Structure 1
Amino acid sequence: MFLHAQGELALGSRLKAVSESLYAAANAAYREAGHDIDAHWFPVLRYLQVRGPASVTEIAAAIGQTHPAVSQLAAKLRAQGWITRRTDRSDARRGVLELSAEAERKLDRLGPVWCAIRRAAAAAAVRDGGTLLDALGAFEADIASGRLAADIRAHHARLKDATIEIAPYRRDWAVHFERLNAEWLQRWFTLEEVDRAVLGDPQAHVIDPGGAILFATLDGEVIGTCALLKEAPGVYELSKMAVESGFRGFGAGRKLLEAAIAEFQRRRGRTLFLESSKRLGPALQLYESGGFVHHPAPRPGSHYQRADVYMVYEPEKAKRLRAKAAPRKQLRVVGR
């Protein structure tokens, strides 16, 4: 091709062409999976999904696009029902964008497609190694030949057929424990000092004192986590439960909760409690369905400034709930 012969002089032009080809490949993957998102919208929608409501100025600075470009896209997304605009509760002069409830639902199902695109693109980028131009040429060839699209389809098929599994703590997964929890804490609250300590060194603050950390995986991808913190002999706190944006609604949270309760019982624990917030409605419903009962006041001596909910696990209630529920397949915990 002509541009290839121009070497580094045509790098920008080739990267732009590859960018548009990747958008097309991503859109094809979305359509095949039954999603109506456009790949060009991804940076804005993903930012709002992960970070929460934000102004056009904040979004533009974070994703490296101009204010007019983000403003124009925001207008389009508002017209199509993906986002809404409201006045900032802390500053009435400032407007912020946020996802609509329907957009939240749609994006929470996109994790497998995003994972498939990432896997295929990562493999194409390093296929032949060599210089940047060599890698770019290999990438272009993969797109032109249809290999990238085929790889995305194959990865997505694997992920759709995969079963969520629960695995115990591994030192090399500590980064996921921190990543997943930091994401949701920064979306809904702020990282408190106790969070920074536990997430920064889970071995010292959770495992060594006698607690446990569990991970939810899908075809090898870590998509969720939770911890059992040992408060005292026989007393444990269910804490740091988080599921990655894009993989919510697939049952990872429930499997983590069931596995954490099973681990608590395996250790012959006497008391299992948790602290949460009234802002987290779906999470509270999950805990209630798992046998946790609300106590009328926050826990005395709570570690967290954000906590205004205190719940304790009651095995008898859990048994009654299980008796009413439809039979489920036995939970598989690997690596035990």
Structure 2
Amino acid sequence: MNFFDTVGKMALGSRLRLLTDKITEDAAAIYKLYDIDMHPKWFPVFYVLSNGAAKTITAIAKEIGHSHPSVSKIIGEMSGKGLVKEKKDKADGRRNMVSLTPKGKEITEKIKDQYSDVNNAIEEISAGTRNDLWKAIEEWEFLLEQQTLLRRVQLQKKARESQDVKIVDYRPEYQQAFKALNEQWISTWFKMEAADYKALDNPQGYILKNGGHILVALYKEVPVGVCALIKMNDPDYDFELAKMAVSPTVQGKSIGWMLGNAVIEKARSLGAAKIYLESNTILKPAINLYHKLGFQKVVGRITPYERCNIQMELTL
């Protein structure tokens, strides 16, 4: 049974490497066929320099889409074969200019027949296929420039793992998790304050009985995230979004985003017009999340927390 038929598109990289290895092996033999002493991986650099103008390593790397260290290594190997030379730029002595040596220039004439024959052979292969590989590669390159394969896999991973997340209403058995999750992040960055203990030691009396709500994120039925809506006695705001915490063990699964949206929807369902929150700019992921949820910075309000240096609001 064919390995790639069994594994499928997960083995895309392996299959492309195998194809590349086959072509590279043939390419080395093709250079020998035409009595040209050149390694296949040197070709992009050679081709750029064969136009005649001397170039910096940076310019070559940019033109062929390689890294500077990669091109520098190739230049070193080609120099060892006597195909290229480097010299200081007359206009800027800090730069080295790379150009073909007379031996390298000789190859530019010898290789013309090889160019023609290779191009015709590839056209022959293309004519025998139903799909245009060259255009397909261009399309893949374009799409991967927009979003890398790594990023696409990360998003798929998040989407799959989010199916194991449930946002539920607070129950008394979640009190320990509510307190522990918040104590963890507060103690990591700051110190626990009196206002923290009021909410965390008695969520039932301090938050829920006063018209507030607490939501809990369960990952595989384990409480890993919490967030509270505290009813405010304030003419400008209905609720304060507070005591949001997500366990470091599940960060990267968009649980904070899911919790934030759930809390906002809860406030909206209760007829709230505005939500308020307090935070600290050292908590960059949290601030980014609040901006993503639609919160905007406000100033000038009194806060019970020493650690607060930013206040935000969301108009529903």
TM-score range, shorter chain: 0.3 to 0.5
Larger Rg: 2
Report which structure shows greater RCO (CA 8 Å, sep ≥6).
1
In the superposition, the TM-score normalised over structure 2's length comes to 0.47
